[in-house]
Amino acid sequence: MAFDFKKEDAAKYGREVYRAFRSKGNHRWDTCVFVNESGAYSAVFRHSFRKKVIEDGKEIRRNVIDDEIVVAAPDAGSFTRAKFPQLADAKELKQSGFFARLRFLAEAAAYREAWPGHDGGVVLIWEGKAYGWKNCLRDAGCERPGAIAIDTDGHVFIAEGGNDYDGAKCWVAMPC
């Protein structure tokens, strides 16, 4: 089966938010994460290869899927807790900055749901658990270096510099 992966994936799973791949010879292993309009996440682990085919009397190379595994969940929290296949690519995804950021977003969403009235502002996270809320992102000196803050738009910040006694020096945006 040969087709344009990107178009088909966008139609089937939604907007791509993460992609990693490795290749060897004419074989390729892709890991893609998609999110659709309703906030559902899908991870696609795909092994494909290039195959010569005759089309209209011409020999051309096409991408052909050899194996594909899909992990889907209705939201970010469920996705981060989902059972992933025992693949090197799945391990790489779970160790990526993207996945860590997704865990922070899921933790912040759970905190906001558990504590009504904290719809705005930022949720604070330390060692993977939400521990507080602030109106806005300020006073890095009140937080330990390494603390995470997530605003309502999904932007993730980390407290850097300083020490545990004096607090952090500043908030720095984490890359997407």
pLDDT tens digit sequence for 20-53 = 989 898 898 999 999 999 999 999 999 988 888 8
Q: Where are the domains of the chain?
A: 5-95, 101-173
pLDDT at 3: 57
Contact 142, 167 (CB under 8 A): yes
pLDDT band at 112 (very low <50, low <70, confident <90, very high): confident
Element spanning 31, H or E: strand 27-35
Sheet holding 27-35, edge to edge: 15-24, 27-35, 41-55, 58-73
Residues in the chain: 176
Distance CA 32, CA 93 (A): 9
CATH number of this structure's domain 5-95: 3.10.450
Distance CA 124, CA 25 (A): 46
pLDDT at 46: 93
pLDDT band at 1 (very low <50, low <70, confident <90, very high): very low
